[in-house]
Amino acid sequence: MSAEEAATIPAWAGDLTGIVGQHLIYTYENGWKYELYVRNSHTVAFRCLMGPMFGRWSTAQPAKIVQLSGDMFKLAWVEPTGTVTVVIAWLGERRVHTTICYPQWMLDYPEFTLGRYEDNTPEITAARNRGLTYPQTLVAATGHITFLETRSPDDDTVIDRPPGKLPHDYANRAN
């Protein structure tokens, strides 16, 4: 079975009304900050706000999203870089746990991955296909959700610009 065929197999997702439309900023224990917006039941948008991947962002990343329990959700996606990301979000406890698998080429040449993925997909794909995909670096990190709000699904204004064009202290918002 191909990956494309596996992606079309329906899976039990649970009740996604508690995660769709959620916009969050979270800070990992190492100080890195990320932003995530769940556009709908199969798409997320994200920005790296602080850390070595600063500048990476996407407005339409296909994702697999499932409810694990109550207000706990798992979101998983494969980026055009070949990076695999899995986020477990406990909204009520305002915690996240993320496991990310970075291909070697991306760590060697991160400059190809900076910017909005949708604007650079052909270049990213070409760099990915030239580079080493193995060894891979596995990063597991726990963080705290510092900002959480509910927005409408598919709101193009939530993540609409590069991290470098955000207002000063945007990443430090808290509620």
CA-CA distance, 57 to 88, in Å (whole number)? 19
> Is the pLDDT reported for residue 162 higher than 50?
yes
Residue 4 pLDDT more than 60? no
Instruction: Report how far apart, in Å, the C-alpha atoms of 41 and of each of 62, 77, 154 are.
Output: 9, 13, 10
pLDDT digits (tens, 9 = 90+) for 123-135: 888 888 887 777 8
Domains and CATH numbers, the chain: 3-154 (2.40.128.20)
Burial degree of 156 (CB within 10 A; 0-12, 13-18, 19+)? exposed
At position 154, the amino acid (one-letter code) is D
Handedness of CA 24, 40, 76, 70 (dihedral sign): positive
Q: In the chain, what percentage of residues exceed pLDDT 90? A: 66
List, by residue number, the catalytic residues.
34, 79
